[in-house]
Amino acid sequence: MDINSLKETIEKELGGVKNSKELRDFSNKYLGKKGEIRKVFAEIKDMAVEEKKVMGREINEFVAELENKIDELREVLQEGAVESEKINVNLPGEKIESGHLHPLTSVRREIEEIFQLMGFAVVEGPEVEDEWHNFDSLNIPEGHPARDVLSLGKTLYLRNKLVLRSHTSPAQTRYMKKLGAPLRIVIPGRVFRYEKTDASHETNFYQIEGLMVDENVSVANLKGVLEKFLQEFFKKKMSIRFRPSYFPFTEPSFEIDISCSVCSGVGCPACKRTGWVEILGAGMVHPQVIKNGGLDPKKWNGFAFGMSIDRLAMMKYKINDIRWFYSGNLKFLKQF
């Protein structure tokens, strides 16, 4: 047998190995249990002692050399394999397209949750109201300036003594009649006004009405509930003040201001230099309204309040124009 030609063949074949699998096959073919090298050892078994020694050493040296070469090549091939699977973790992550909830949806939910935690149920009233619920039930009789079509009244009128509700307050008597007392509800919803639109006025916007009717409800309770609400909503202790006001359906009536968030109460153009921003209308439910709700005002009394969800959302996100909410503009909506 020609050991040299075998060496030559092996060297040549090794040069052609391109990947780990081929290397494994190559290694088995020559160095395996039934490999070519074994066969050579079997052949020299019968040789003379001296000759066997020389040949044996030569083959062993060759095998050791070959094993080294295989090991080296294995490493090279493995590195190559890792190279092809390697990832660049420093590249920017893929941009994920998400959907968006309208800011008024989020703010409304947040408001609802705060009141729910204080034991108020969330209910809704109809957007098309009859004049009785929108006006009469709230001590706004026929002929009252607030019902006038032309100037003072900002109500949008429909046919057959129907209107688009101008506030969420008509739901007060609806739910007193429906659910009785004691009663704790908030009524969020869309309201409608005859308005020239500008940065702070819209023809439709959202209000949330609150109503608590029980046997012993006071101005102090109204203060407690609203203070807690504002604190939760703005995530900090809020300075608030109650000012006298007038609504036909509450007595006493209040307007409630919070300390201006822009100037912290020092006075700036946003708060007309007063340091305060009006945020809520409220009051103790007028006994006639309790009566209109089918309850006995001698037994039951309560408080009610109303505020604009749009306004709270504008304050929360520092939005300067109410009309963005109804623009359908994705440049605006995708920010939320």
Considering only 74, 223, 291, 316, the residue that binds another protein (CB under 8 A) is: 223
Which residue number, 22 or 112, has a Cβ lying nearer to another protein?
Answer: 112
CA atoms within 13 A on the CB side of 115: 22
Which residue number, 182 or 294, has a Cβ lying nearer to another protein?
Answer: 182
Quickly count: other Cβ atoms within 10 Å of residue 184's Cβ.
Answer: 20
Considering only 241, 270, 294, 299, the residue that binds another protein (CB under 8 A) is: 241
Quickly count: other Cβ atoms within 10 Å of residue 128's Cβ.
Answer: 11
Residues 3-22 that bind another protein (CB under 8 A): none
Which residue number, 105 or 261, has a Cβ lying nearer to another protein?
Answer: 105
Which residue number, 47 or 152, has a Cβ lying nearer to another protein?
Answer: 152
Tell me the per-residue interface mask from 183 to 212 with another protein, x by CB under 8 A, - otherwise.
-x-----x-x-xxxx-----xx-------x
Number of residues that bind another protein (CB under 8 A): 79
Tell me the per-residue interface mask from 301 to 320 with another protein, x by CB under 8 A, - otherwise.
x-------------------
Considering only 7, 24, 109, 174, the residue that binds another protein (CB under 8 A) is: 109
Tell me the per-residue interface mask from 272 to 291 with another protein, x by CB under 8 A, - otherwise.
x-----------x-xx----
Residues 242-271 that bind another protein (CB under 8 A): 242-246, 251-255
Residues 32-71 that bind another protein (CB under 8 A): none
Counting contacts by CB under 8 A, is residue 98 touching another protein? Answer: yes
Q: Which of 17, 43, 42 is nearest to 29 (CA)?
A: 17
Q: Which of 161, 164, 176 is nearest to 290 (CA)?
A: 176
Tokens 């063949």 found at: 9
Helix axes 309-317, 103-117, angle to 10 degrees: 110
Quickly count: other Cβ atoms within 10 Å of residue 249's Cβ.
Answer: 22
Which residue number, 10 or 111, has a Cβ lying nearer to another protein?
Answer: 111
Task: Give Cα 233 to chain centroid, integer Å.
Answer: 16
Shortest gap between Cβ of 290 and another protein (angstroms)?
Answer: 11
Burial of 102 (0-12, 13-18, 19+ CB in 10 A): middle
Considering only 86, 216, 237, 269, the residue that binds another protein (CB under 8 A) is: 216
Q: Which of 58, 79, 53 is nearest to 6 (CA)?
A: 58
Tell me the per-residue interface mask from 127 to 166 with another protein, x by CB under 8 A, - otherwise.
xx--------------x-x--xxxxx---xxxxx-x-x--
Q: Are strands 156-157 and 183-192 parallel, antiparallel or unpaired?
A: unpaired
CA–CA dist 112, 191 (Å, integer) = 17
